[in-house]
Copies of this chain bind each other. A is one copy, B any other.
Amino acid sequence: MSRKSAASALRDAAPVFAALGDPMRLSLVTRLTETGPMSITRLSDGASVTRQAVTKHLHVLAGAGIARSRRRGRESVWEIDATPLRAARRSLKAISRDWEAALDRLKAFVEEG
């Protein structure tokens, strides 16, 4: 199944939005996107919280499919998977489109009065 209904796509988007909703996670995502794959301690160096907190956030991102890790030696390198982000972006686009359509219908209804 390569195509989904708009409703199910939106249901899938909710966890992605929830994952991006935390400022710390959002900053992790931006650092990973701008600088590329990084280890946990490297990511925690700049952060204001513990390494463990960063680890938890990374797992939340992984749960939403936004990030994944791969073990290299003794460190685990994390990188971004942009696929769910693109899907979320499509959902936002669909919402905006529907809203414009609803506005048009409303306008027509008022004018025909």
Interface membership of chain A positions 24-53, coded 1 if the CB is closer than 8 angstroms to chain B and 0 otherwise = 001001101111110000000000000000
**A81 vs B33: C-alpha distance when bound (angstroms):** 29
Evaluate whether A85 and B80 lie within 8 angstroms (CB atoms) in the complex, with A17-B20, A26-B17, A30-B10 already known.
no
Count of A interface residues, CB-CB < 8 Å? 39
B98 near A33: Cβ-Cβ < 8 Å? yes
Per CB-CB distance, the 6 closest pairs between chain A and chain B, nearest first, are A18-B21, A17-B20, A17-B21, A33-B99, A89-B92, A36-B102
**A80 vs B20: C-alpha distance when bound (angstroms):** 21
**A51 vs B32: C-alpha distance when bound (angstroms):** 41
Name the B residues within 8 Å of A1 (CB-CB): none
Name the B residues within 8 Å of A21 (CB-CB): 14-15, 17-21
Q: Which residue of B lies closest to A18 (CB)?
A: B21
- The answer, among B26, B82, B95, B105, for a CB contact under 8 Å with A30, is B95
**Is A56 interfacial (CB 8 A cutoff)?**
no
**Is A22 interfacial (CB 8 A cutoff)?**
yes
**A62 vs B21: C-alpha distance when bound (angstroms):** 16
